Structure 1
Amino acid sequence: MVRTSLAAAALLAVTAGPAAAEGLSVTFADAAWDGEHLPAGQHCSKFGGHGATPPLVVSGIPAPADAIVIEYNDRSYQPLSEDGGHGIIGYRIAPGSPTAELPAVPGETAEGLPEGTWIVRQNRATGSYARPGYLPPCSGGKGNTYVADVFAVRLTNDGYEKLAEARVTLGRY
């Protein structure tokens, strides 16, 4: 069981339930995101960007789900390559809705997030790369591949249960 902070004081426990094998469909809601290369400026401030998560459309959401949790990772850099190395963000959704439109969430902050979103766990970057909240791609244009692992979840008193999942490639930077 992995413990992650929800907002300030609440803790969520991440558990994979029996339905975790079901899949979701995830598409970009902004045509600037093509899954190949990052759109201009969608990287970290260390390299002159003002990155945010891409807005996404998630479909195939199982009826019991009441949130989407996304783990952002740099597949090319081992320390941040899995389990939300670039941060984990939660998005509340309407229970029973098979589709959800998720807004862009600004990077490098835990403040001013869109309504219904929260930082489940901030990125694990260290040194001069360390920033609060979600860390946008920050490899300095070295060709790293960034992905988002998307989970439809049911919130519980002590955490959440994963019901369905998908991976989307955000692009290379």
Structure 2
Amino acid sequence: MAQDGFNASFADPAWDGVTVPAGQHCPLQGGAGATPPLDVSGLPEGTSQINLSFNDETYEPMNNGGHGVLGFAVEAGATSASLPAVPGATEDLPEGVTLVTANKTSGGFLTPGYMPPCSGGAGNTYSVDVIAVDNAGAELATTRVTLGTY
């Protein structure tokens, strides 16, 4: 559900929404990818966490959170939040960040935590759904940010 005023944008100019920045792909293909840092504004009242659901829109099995879902704790009453970059392919997450849903990788692609783009440069489109949730886990608002192609 979209909500007027709920917005997310890149906090690092290397991320332009057109092309995934160099090196921000999976370790299997020589990268050391991390989530893009995001600035989120217009948080609805009652938001306790922001979930980032990472997608490969081109490859259906990895769409709808296929690259993992991370949760970022939000201070009570906050109307905005700055979400830091989180390294991919690791279970070692920063304080205040949790793994909500593991990525859907398997075989040689299997990795813990967030799975950075891993299409081998085939031109797949990657995105993140930014979801404000309350203490009960109910979705309050959502918006999508295109990460770019890789």
The equivalences for 1:75-114 within 5 A come to 75-82=57-64, 84-111=65-92, 113-114=93-94
1:138 positional shift: 0.2
* Structure 2: gaps (5+ residues): none
Identify the residue that residue 151 of structure 1 maps to in structure 2.
Answer: 131
Q: Is contact 1:154–1:161 with CA below 8 Å preserved after alignment?
A: yes
Q: Which amino acid aligns with 1:74?
A: D
User: What is the Cα deviation at residue 21 of structure 1?
Assistant: 4.1
- TM-score normalised per structure 2: 0.96
The one-letter code matched in structure 1 to 2:147 is: L
Pick one of 66, 69, 73 that aligns with 2:51: 69
Aligned partner of 2:21 in structure 1 is 39
Query: Is the 8 Å Cα contact of residues 62 and 163 (structure 1) preserved in structure 2?
Result: yes
**C-alpha distance in structure 2 between counterparts of 1:21 and 1:81, whole Å:** 19
Distance 1:155 1:130 in 2: 31
Runs of 4+ in 1 over 3 A off after TM superposition: none
1:115 Cα deviation (Å)? 1.3
**CA–CA separation in structure 2 for the residues paired with 1:47 and 1:101:** 29
User: Could you say which residue in structure 1 is the equivalent of 2:143?
Assistant: 166
2:71 aligns to what SS in structure 1?
A: strand
- Residue 116 of structure 1 corresponds to which residue in structure 2? 96
Matched, 1:136 2:113: no
For the residues of structure 1 that align with 2:59 and 2:127, how far apart are their CA atoms? 12
When normalised by structure 1's length, the TM-score is 0.84
Identical pairs, percent: 52
- How much is the aligned-residue C-alpha RMSD, in angstroms? 0.9
The answer as to 2:35 corresponding to 1:53 is yes
